[in-house]
């Protein structure tokens, strides 16, 4: 990845990223409570890693935080006056049936970026994520790793204040995982709040600033990373770290 | 048998010599059907996308209606347009009956449900895949529509060709509202019916060959497009 250039839309690193607050949030479907009720405050620098076993409600938590789903109880709030700019990278990247560069210019067009600057921003982002060579390749014939990098580049051009990543590396090989993690760090350095789910302990150790541990639809703890990996507070997290099979 | 072979020879020579009356009939057929399909596309694709995107009361009934109208018998479409355009009808003042314009309207009525129903299916399928990403990007439904239609472009072209196939091959509707007037509203299908009735088999056969050729061309186009889609978009 190339050196750090300040893009046109970049939020300044001097301004702390907006804090996310879950206030007694719960989500139920057909009378079954899938998540919560839970309350927590993400105001530390992060990156925040949401951890827990499969089906614990990690993805659901991310979708509620991003606004893809509305909580059936409680509310999701942000510090500051308005909802921050946000983006999300999915486990399976959702790319349009167009060229790589057109995927980026489309996202910029949707966000009302003037036509003149779109193409330049798009090519800058492609270069940053090592995709210049395939800028005109249809996005959906790219390899899995390239597709995920393109999804990250699409998030990058939008200069989000908050970036959600839902198991972004679970289908990738080690080289591609490395590229995605490097990109996550770059977002973090740019001052973007990172909220990412993973069930890979090693990845969490490499990236986490703080950990939100979820199991059985409940948020068990929210702890700074070192403390979490050394001595997790909740019984569930202790079992998880110890390698037991937690539900 | 002898006579039919003869007719075939004459048909071929008509084709090879670019016979003027034959050429005129083919040209009018293409004009009417292409115009009808284009009008139906401008109306039908956004309609299909809108039904896919919005939830409203009666949406299910609308989908059933559109699907059912795909099989609308051409003579019924012809009758409806005839009643609309006849002197005593609500649009009688337009004086369109027995003009190419009336034939275009009748074919739009036939093709529109096909384009709307099939594009609705395709767009809904795409939307299922894109929905979360679209919401994440903060897109409104009206903003989603052009993105979805563009991303479905190859499928829409195939659907367009299916619509053209239906328009160019039907005979009932254009016969009723066009009247098969020589030099004015005579198209391939209506003249095949007429010439066969009159016993003028060479011209009927010549037209039949052209029509068959066109249908094959359309199908080859649809096939190639499908292949291209698979290769281009994975």
pLDDT of residue A87: 94
Whether B22 and B213 have beta carbons less than 8 Å apart is answered as: no
β-sheet bridge partners, residue A25? A38
With 90 as the cut, is the pLDDT of residue B146 above it? yes
- When CB atoms are compared, the residue of B129, B130, B137 closest to A107 is B137
Q: What does the pLDDT look like over A52-102, one tens digit per residue?
A: 888 888 999 999 999 999 999 999 999 887 889 999 999 999 999 999 999
- Domain edges within chain A: 20-241
Three-state SS at A119: helix
CA B143/CA B125 separation, integer angstroms: 17
The CATH superfamily assigned to A20-241 is: P-loop containing nucleotide triphosphate hydrolases (3.40.50.300)
With 90 as the cut, is the pLDDT of residue A117 above it? yes
| Domain residue limits at B45 | 2-233
State pTM to two decimals. 0.86
Whether A50 and A228 have beta carbons less than 8 Å apart is answered as: no
Q: Burial of A229 by CB count in 10 Å (0-12 exposed, 13-18 middle, 19+ buried)? A: middle
Whether A24 and A74 have beta carbons less than 8 Å apart is answered as: yes
Parallel, antiparallel, or unpaired for β A20-29 and A73-78?
Answer: antiparallel
Domain count across chain B: 1
CA nearest to A97, candidates A89, A106, A88: A106
Q: What does the pLDDT look like over A2-48, one tens digit per residue?
A: 433 444 444 444 567 888 989 999 999 988 889 879 888 888 887 99
- Tokens 């639809």 correspond to A217
Q: Burial of B35 by CB count in 10 Å (0-12 exposed, 13-18 middle, 19+ buried)? A: middle
**Omega before A47 within 30 of 0, i.e. cis:** yes
Q: Give the pLDDT band (50/70/90) at residue A157.
A: very high
Q: What is the DSSP string of B146-195?
A: HHHHHHTHHHHHHHHHHHHHHHHH--HHHHHHH---TTTT--HHHHHHHH
Three-state SS at A247: coil
* Alpha carbon separation from A38 to A24, A33, A41, B150 (Å, rounded): 5, 12, 10, 42
Contact between B147 and A106 using a beta-carbon 8 Å cutoff: yes
What's the half-sphere exposure (Cβ side, CA atoms, 13 Å) at A47? 29
pLDDT of residue A1: 40
**Choice between B96 and B12, residue whose per-residue pLDDT is larger:** B96
Looking up residue B82, the CATH number of its domain turns out to be 1.10.3720.10
Buried b / exposed e across A183-205, counting CB within 10 Å, b at 16+?
bbebbbebbbbbbbbbbeeebbe
**Omega before A37 within 30 of 0, i.e. cis:** yes
pLDDT of residue B16: 82
With CA atoms as reference, the chain B residue closest to A67 would be B136
Q: What does the pLDDT look like over B76-89, one tens digit per residue?
A: 999 999 999 998 98
Parallel, antiparallel, or unpaired for β A193-198 and A48-51?
Answer: parallel
Distance from the B165 Cα atom to the nearest Cα atom in chain A, whole angstroms: 27
Contact between B129 and A106 using a beta-carbon 8 Å cutoff: no
Residues of B in contact with A144 (CB under 8 A): none
User: What stretch of H or E contains A201?
Assistant: helix A201-207
**What is the total residue count of chain B?**
234
The fraction of chain A above a pLDDT of 70, given in percent, is 92
CA A175/CA A148 separation, integer angstroms: 12
Contact between B233 and A87 using a beta-carbon 8 Å cutoff: no
With CA atoms as reference, the chain A residue closest to B133 would be A94
Give the tokens for residue A209.
Answer: 């600033």
Whether B206 and B14 have beta carbons less than 8 Å apart is answered as: yes
β-sheet bridge partners, residue A224? A210
Contact between A66 and B136 using a beta-carbon 8 Å cutoff: yes
Quickly count: other Cβ atoms within 10 Å of residue B17's Cβ. Answer: 10
pLDDT of residue B32: 95
- When CB atoms are compared, the residue of A94, A98, A111 closest to B132 is A94
Give the tokens for residue B18.
Answer: 């670019």
Residues of A in contact with B128 (CB under 8 A): none
Quickly count: other Cβ atoms within 10 Å of residue B42's Cβ. Answer: 12
With 60 as the cut, is the pLDDT of residue B92 above it? yes
Q: Collect all residues from A whose CB is shorter than 8 A from any CB in B.
A: 63, 66-68, 86-88, 90, 94, 96-98, 106-107, 110-111, 138, 140-141, 158
Per-residue pLDDT averaged across A203-228, rounded? 90
- When CB atoms are compared, the residue of B129, B143, B233 closest to A138 is B233
pLDDT of residue A246: 61
Sequence-separated (6 or more) residues with CB below 8 Å from residue B233: A97, A138, A140, A141, B154
Three-state SS at A218: strand
CA A86/CA A31 separation, integer angstroms: 30
Residues of A in contact with B139 (CB under 8 A): 110
> φ, ψ for residue A74 (rounded to 5)?
75, -170
Whether B176 and B102 have beta carbons less than 8 Å apart is answered as: no
With CA atoms as reference, the chain A residue closest to B130 would be A94
Contact between A94 and B130 using a beta-carbon 8 Å cutoff: yes
CA A240/CA A195 separation, integer angstroms: 20
With 50 as the cut, is the pLDDT of residue A130 above it? yes
Parallel, antiparallel, or unpaired for β A32-42 and A162-166?
Answer: unpaired
CA nearest to B69, candidates B90, B49, B44: B44
């Amino acid at each position: 990845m190339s050196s750090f250039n300040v893009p046109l839309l970049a939020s300044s690193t001097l301004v702390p990223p907006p804090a996310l607050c879950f206030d007694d949030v719960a989500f139920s479907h057909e009378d079954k409570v899938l998540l919560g009720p839970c309350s927590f405050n993400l105001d530390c620098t992060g990156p925040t890693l949401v951890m827990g076993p499969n089906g614990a409600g990690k993805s659901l938590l991310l979708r509620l935080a991003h606004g893809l789903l509305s909580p059936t109880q409680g509310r999701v709030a942000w510090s500051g006056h308005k909802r921050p700019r946000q983006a999300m990278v999915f486990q399976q990247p959702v790319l349009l049936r167009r060229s790589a560069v057109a995927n980026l210019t489309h996202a910029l067009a949707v966000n009302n970026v003037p036509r003149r600057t779109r193409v330049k921003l798009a090519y800058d982002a492609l270069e940053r994520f090592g995709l210049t060579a395939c800028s005109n390749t249809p996005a959906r014939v790219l390899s899995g790793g390239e597709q995920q990098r393109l999804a990250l580049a699409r998030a990058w051009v939008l200069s989000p204040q908050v970036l959600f990543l839902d198991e972004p590396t679970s289908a990738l090989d080690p080289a591609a995982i490395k590229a995605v993690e490097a990109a996550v760090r770059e977002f973090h350095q740019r001052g973007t709040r990172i909220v990412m789910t993973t069930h890979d302990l090693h990845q969490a150790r490499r990236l986490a600033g703080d950990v939100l541990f979820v199991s059985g639809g409940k948020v068990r703890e929210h702890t700074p990373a070192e403390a979490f990996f050394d001595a997790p507070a909740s019984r569930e997290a202790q079992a998880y770290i110890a390698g037991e099979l937690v539900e | 048998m002898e006579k039919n072979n003869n007719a075939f020879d004459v048909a071929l020579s008509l084709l090879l010599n670019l016979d003027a009356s034959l050429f005129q009939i083919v040209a009018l057929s293409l004009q009417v059907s292409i115009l009808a399909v284009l009008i139906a596309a401008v109306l039908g694709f956004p309609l299909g996308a809108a039904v896919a995107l919005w939830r409203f009361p009666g949406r299910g009934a609308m989908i059933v209606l559109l699907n059912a109208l795909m099989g609308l018998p051409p003579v019924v479409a012809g009758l409806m347009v005839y009643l609309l355009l006849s002197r005593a009808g609500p649009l009688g003042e337009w004086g369109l009956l027995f003009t190419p314009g009336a034939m275009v309207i009748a074919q739009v009525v036939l093709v529109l449900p096909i384009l709307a129903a099939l594009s609705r299916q395709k767009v809904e399928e795409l939307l299922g895949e894109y929905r979360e990403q679209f919401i994440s990007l903060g897109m409104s439904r009206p903003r989603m529509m052009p993105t979805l239609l563009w991303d479905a472009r190859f499928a829409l072209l195939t659907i367009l060709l299916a619509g053209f196939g239906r328009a160019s091959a039907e005979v009932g509707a254009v016969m009723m509202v066009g009247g098969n007037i020589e030099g004015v509203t005579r198209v391939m299908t209506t003249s095949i019916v007429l010439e066969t009735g009159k016993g003028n088999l060479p011209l009927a056969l010549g037209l039949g060959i052209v029509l068959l050729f066109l249908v094959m061309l359309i199908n080859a186009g649809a096939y190639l497009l499908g292949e291209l889609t698979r290769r281009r978009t994975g």
